[in-house]
């Protein structure tokens, strides 16, 4: 490798995604020096329903193995462990963990972000917003439409099955041991970064119960302007304040690792994975955007220090806070629940491909979808539709339809949903997006990327080094100890980071044809909506 790596300092990143954990060691140029990745089990305990769980002890064990194995390969290639100066953690967001303060053990399996079992809980709180509302200041209550607005105003989010407070409420209401721990002030609530950092820093011995603000901004409990837990919302959802972790910034030293091969190394960065990818793509100033295609797809558009409120179905979220007390940077986000998971479904359930990568060669066997549209609403639709009642829909099937058409339609679904988000972003931010930086497992396929550019009608820029999520948290961690001169408030300090080439994909289809397909997609989405509440008399 270049740049005299053997003598250099390194920064680690523990990336705990929805389907796998990886530990990656980077040098100052973002070259990957060593890494290890492991998939972990997914639990779907109720066939036919959209329950999706993780065993968080299993995630922690996989994380420990990834760290140990990456360090073994590091040493095997002639580096000392002491090269690792600091590590960052990045994670699937919203996934909700409940553990016991006294034992440090999880009280139940974590409810994963994409799980939509909580539809009735959402309906209950929608009704409560209509009836009692939320108290926005002493004696001032906002109800009904105003209540929904106030919730958005405070948190940047709508009431949805997606966010953590709803999932936690469901746990308290449905698991007697969680209910008991809540009442006894023994319940620790956290998202995945809270859980991992709690363990790495010593578990119940040290009891460091913290949550980072980009993750906390996905709970429905954080005031994104003040960066504090919002008491009115803690009350609204009926939580005891003792459950809440202490809030911390995205880049600071939270403590030193308490066990294993990295004992004594500081943890200096915690960041939600999508915000991590924004940082890893160096989209640090207003107007820059990226989309990460993993299990789901998440397009984040940096809005600088301004919270831009969306009127078109997007989320206003915290991108990162560069240090304790520092001014946060915000983003508008469009979240798509199903992206790579549709590929996984074609592989594991439909068995029309034997590996995820194969979707590309299968889709390339046909020039088009033969009129098939695939609305991948496996657990309802997130942005910009926010319809938990939408159902997955394959439409336009005929005698002529073959597996290639379906594979292609799955890739097109990704592109159409991305376009829907870009259209909303245009309306909310006033700026058009002519080019999109992409990363994540799904972007490994060239055919998927060509379809994205062609259907979306924008340039797609794919970096050679696509571990942007991990790199983002490494940058946060490095910046916390001023390693390599990195500074999140000075984008120019990252000029030497990840400068390897990009591959670009451009649109070929004529605009009129693209528009026609777009209109047909919108029609397909319309047909998939409100299926759960469907009533034959209104069909
Ligand atoms: N070559 C490929 N083409 C299309 N999809 C792919 C390819 N490789 C992986 N995927 C999909 O990408 C997803 C994994 O991406 P990753 O970024 O690791 O996700 P996560 O962080 O959500 O676990 C899987 O759902 C898989 O189906
Ligand atoms: O782990 P990923 O890449 O699927 O990302 C999941 C998101 O953070 C959910 O909001």
What would the DSSP string read from start to end of 371-411?
T-EEE--BTBB-TTT-BTT---EEES--TT--HHHHHHHHH
pLDDT tens digits for range 463-477: 988 899 999 999 999
Give the contacts of 7 (CB within 8 A, at least 6 positions apart).
none
Q: Is residue 450 part of a domain?
A: yes
pLDDT tens digits for range 90-139: 999 999 999 999 999 999 999 999 998 998 999 999 999 888 888 888 77
Rounded to whole angstroms, how far apart are CA atoms 459 and 58? 40
Rounded to whole angstroms, how far apart are CA atoms 349 and 410? 14
Rounded to whole angstroms, how far apart are CA atoms 212 and 222? 11
Question: What residue numbers bound the domain in which 507 lies?
Answer: 340-528
Same domain as 380, residue 524: yes
The pLDDT, as a whole number, for residue 507 is: 82
Length of the chain: 539
Domain boundary among 197, 223, 244: 244
Q: Is residue 176 part of a domain?
A: yes
The pLDDT, as a whole number, for residue 133 is: 84
pLDDT band at 539, cuts 50/70/90? very low
The pLDDT, as a whole number, for residue 136 is: 80
Same domain as 344, residue 239: no
Q: Is residue 369 part of a domain?
A: yes
Same domain as 240, residue 388: no
361 dihedral zone (left: phi>0; alpha: psi -120 to 50; beta): alpha
In this structure, the residues whose C-beta lies within 6 A of any atom of ligand 2 are: 17-18, 92-94, 113, 272-274, 294-296, 298
Same domain as 366, residue 470: yes
pLDDT band at 228, cuts 50/70/90? very high
CB neighbours (10 Å) of residue 31?
Answer: 18
- Of 159, 111, 50, the closest CA to residue 390 belongs to 50
pLDDT band at 2, cuts 50/70/90? very low
Of 43-52, 246-255, 273-282, 298-307, the least confident: 43-52
Same domain as 216, residue 351: no
Q: Is residue 240 part of a domain?
A: yes
The pLDDT, as a whole number, for residue 1 is: 46
CB neighbours (10 Å) of residue 423?
Answer: 17
Most ligand 2 atoms within 8 A of CB, residue of 191, 298, 339 to mutate: 298
Q: What is the atom index within ligand 1 of the atom nearest the CA of 341? A: 25
Same domain as 511, residue 396: yes
Rounded to whole angstroms, how far apart are CA atoms 403 and 346? 10
Nearest ligand by distance to the CA of 276: 2
Say how many Å lie between the CA of residue 272 and the centre of ligand 2. 8
Q: Is residue 402 part of a domain?
A: yes
Q: What is the atom index within ligand 2 of the atom nearest the CA of 440? A: 3
pLDDT band at 5, cuts 50/70/90? low
Q: Is the pLDDT of residue 432 over 90?
A: no
pLDDT band at 535, cuts 50/70/90? low
Give the contacts of 349 (CB within 8 A, at least 6 positions apart).
none
| Residue for token pair 């319309």 | 526
Q: What is the CATH number of the domain that holds 118?
A: 3.30.420.40
Rounded to whole angstroms, how far apart are CA atoms 56 and 19? 12
Nearest ligand by distance to the CA of 96: 2
Same domain as 461, residue 354: yes
pLDDT band at 244, cuts 50/70/90? very high
Same domain as 345, residue 487: yes
Mean predicted confidence (pLDDT) in 323-344: 95
Same domain as 365, residue 218: no
pLDDT tens digits for range 371-418: 999 999 998 899 999 888 899 999 999 999 999 999 999 999 999 999
Rounded to whole angstroms, how far apart are CA atoms 324 and 488? 13
Q: Is the pLDDT of residue 538 over 70?
A: no
Q: Is residue 347 part of a domain?
A: yes
pLDDT band at 6, cuts 50/70/90? low
Number of domains in the chain: 2
- The overall average pLDDT reported for the chain is 93
Of 52-56, 204-208, 281-285, 407-411, the least confident: 281-285
489 dihedral zone (left: phi>0; alpha: psi -120 to 50; beta): alpha
Most ligand 2 atoms within 8 A of CB, residue of 15, 16, 18 to mutate: 18
pLDDT tens digits for range 334-347: 999 999 999 999 99
Q: Is the pLDDT of residue 204 over 50?
A: yes
Quote helix, strand, coil % in the chain, to nearest 5. 35, 25, 40
List beta partners, residue 394. Answer: 374
Same domain as 521, residue 386: yes
In this structure, the residues whose C-beta lies within 6 A of any atom of ligand 1 are: 17-20, 294-295, 340-341, 343-344, 356-357, 359-360, 440-442, 444-445, 448
Half-sphere exposure of 279 (CA within 13 A, CB side): 38
């Amino acid at each position: 490798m270049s740049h005299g790596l053997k003598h250099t300092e390194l920064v680690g990143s523990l990336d705990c995604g929805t389907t796998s954990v990886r530990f990656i060691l980077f040098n100052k140029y973002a070259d990957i020096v060593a890494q290890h990745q492991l998939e972990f089990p997914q639990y779907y305990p109720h066939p036919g329903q959209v329950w999706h769980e993780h065993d968080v002890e299993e995630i922690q064990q996989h994380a420990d193995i990834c760290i140990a194995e990456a360090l073994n390969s590091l040493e095997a290639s002639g580096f000392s462990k002491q090269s690792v100066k600091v590590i960052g953690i990045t994670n699937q967001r919203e996934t909700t963990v409940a553990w016991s303060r006294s034992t440090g053990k999880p009280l139940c399996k974590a409810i994963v972000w994409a799980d939509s079992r909580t539809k009735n809980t959402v309906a209950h709180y929608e009704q409560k917003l209509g009836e009692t509302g939320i108290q926005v200041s002493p004696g001032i209550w906002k109800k009904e439409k105003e209540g929904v607005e106030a919730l958005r105003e405070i948190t940047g989010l709508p009431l949805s099955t997606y966010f953590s407070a709803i999932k936690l409420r469901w746990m308290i209401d449905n698991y007697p041991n969680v209910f008991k721990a809540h009442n006894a002030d023994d319940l620790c609530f956290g998202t995945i970064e809270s859980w991992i950092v709690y363990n790495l820093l010593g578990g119940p011995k040290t009891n460091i119960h913290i949550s980072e603000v980009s993750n906390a901004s996905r709970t429905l409990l954080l005031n994104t302007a003040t960066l504090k837990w919002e008491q009115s919302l803690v009350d609204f959802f009926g939580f005891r304040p003792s459950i809440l972790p202490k809030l911390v910034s995205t880049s600071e030293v939270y403590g030193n690792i308490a066990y294993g091969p990295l004992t004594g190394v500081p943890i200096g960065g915690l960041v939600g994975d999508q915000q991590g990818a924004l940082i890893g793509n160096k989209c640090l100033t207003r107007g820059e955007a990226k989309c990460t295609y993993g299990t789901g797809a998440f397009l984040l558009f940096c809005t600088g220090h301004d919270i831009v409120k969306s009127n078109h179905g997007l989320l206003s979220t915290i991108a990162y806070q560069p240090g304790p007390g520092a001014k946060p940077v915000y983003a508008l986000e469009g979240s798509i629940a199903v992206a790579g998971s549709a590929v996984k479904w074609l592989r594991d359930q439909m068995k029309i491909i034997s590996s995820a990568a194969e979707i590309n060669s299968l889709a390339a066997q046909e020039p088009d979808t033969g009129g098939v549209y695939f609305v991948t609403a496996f657990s309802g639709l997130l942005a910009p539709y926010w319809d938990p009642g939408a159902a997955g829909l394959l439409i336009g099937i005929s005698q002529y339809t073959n597996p290639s058409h379906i594979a292609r339609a799955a890739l097109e679904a990704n592109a159409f949903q991305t376009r829907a988000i870009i259209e909303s972003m245009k309306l909310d931010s006033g700026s058009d997006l002519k080019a999109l930086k992409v990363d994540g497992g799904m972007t490994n396929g060239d055919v998927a990327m060509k379809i994205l550019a062609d259907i979306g009608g924008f340039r797609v820029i794919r970096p050679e080094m696509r571990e942007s999520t991990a790199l983002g948290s490494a940058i946060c961690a490095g910046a916390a100890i001023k390693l390599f001169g990195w500074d999140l408030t000075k984008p120019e300090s990252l000029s030497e980071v990840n400068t390897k080439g990009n591959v670009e994909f451009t649109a070929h289809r004529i605009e009129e044809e693209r528009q026609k397909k777009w209109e047909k997609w919108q029609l397909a989405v319309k047909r998939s909506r409100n299926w759960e509440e469907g009533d034959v008399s209104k069909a």
